[in-house]
Structure 1
Amino acid sequence: MGLLKKLLFVLFILALVFFGAAFSVENDARVPLDLLFVKLPELRVSIWIVAAFVAGGGAGLLICMIRLLQIKAQHQGVCRKLA
């Protein structure tokens, strides 16, 4: 079972690399990004899309981590009151 799991994981990673490379090749137009107050340099569309995806994922993880810490502190407070 462990060998099958490792094989599927390797196949999944290879598929991600393949689709990532295909995505990058197909979206090779260079565009500038204007963020109202900041004008960023011209980069490939694929880089901007991946950067937005990574930034959104990081922001989501940060928000979840903050909320998890709040819930953990609340849980510890309730445990102290019960004790």
Structure 2
Amino acid sequence: MTLWKGLAEREHLNEIDAIINLAGEPIADKRWTSQQKERLCQSRWAITQKLVDLIHASATPPSVLISGSATGYYGDSG
């Protein structure tokens, strides 16, 4: 498993078995203004589109792309 901090240097995703994309602006730390909603959407859509573009540019693309946003754990309340 490899953790990537960004995709700027990637031209393809050859020889990668699977991708799990959990990128996105946190949803709970700011008010949901129109600007914040736009940031939330763009922080998810842009990276996901870039991954899809890289998959299409790959001669041997990953078998699976799993993408999730707003995932969280709220604890065990009893």
- TM norm. shorter chain > 0.5: no
Class of the TM-score when normalised by the shorter of the 2 chains: 0.3 to 0.5
**Which structure has the highest helix share of the two?**
1
Structure with higher RCO (Cα < 8 A, 6+ apart): 2
* Structure with more strand by fraction: 1
Task: Give the TM-score taking structure 1 as reference length.
Answer: 0.33
Q: TM-score, normalised by structure 2?
A: 0.34
